[in-house]
Amino acid sequence: MSAVVYLDQNHWVTMARARYSRGKVDVAEELEAADAMWELVGAGQARLPLSSAHLVETVHGGTKERRRQLGEAMLSAYGGWHMLNPIVVRRLELIRSFESKQILTAGDVFTAAPYSPFHTYAPRLDEHELSEPQQMALALSWRSAWRAVMLEETLSERDLERTDALISAWANGLGRLAQFIHENPAERDMRLVTVQHMLEDLTLDIAQACLHAELSPAQALQHIGPENVVNFFSGLPFLGRVMEIIQVRLRSPSDSWVNHDLNDVLFLACAAGYADFVVAEKKTGHLLQRADRFLGSRAQIHLNLRSFVRKFRDVS
Q: Which pLDDT score, from 0 to 100, does residue 86 have?
A: 96
Percent pLDDT > 70 in the chain is: 96
What is the average pLDDT across 186-212? 94
List pLDDT tens digits, range 23-39.
999 999 999 999 999 99
What is the average pLDDT across 205-234? 92
What is the average pLDDT across 179-204? 94
Structure-model confidence comparison of residues 118 and 152, the more confident one: 118
Q: Which pLDDT score, from 0 to 100, does residue 154 have?
A: 73
What is the average pLDDT across 251-265? 90
The mean pLDDT of the chain is 92
- Measuring CA to CA, which residue among 286, 274, 205, 299 is closest to residue 248? 286
Residue 194, pLDDT above cutoff 50: yes
Residue 111, pLDDT above cutoff 80: yes
- Measuring CA to CA, which residue among 292, 284, 247, 287 is closest to residue 9? 284
What confidence tier does 126 reach under pLDDT thresholds 50, 70, 90? Answer: very low
Residue 124, pLDDT above cutoff 80: no
Structure-model confidence comparison of residues 146 and 60, the more confident one: 146
What is the average pLDDT across 160-176? 87
Handedness of CA 270, 274, 275, 278 (dihedral sign): positive
This model's pTM is above 0.85: yes
Residue 128, pLDDT above cutoff 60: no
What is the average pLDDT across 50-73? 88
Burial of 220 (0-12, 13-18, 19+ CB in 10 A): middle
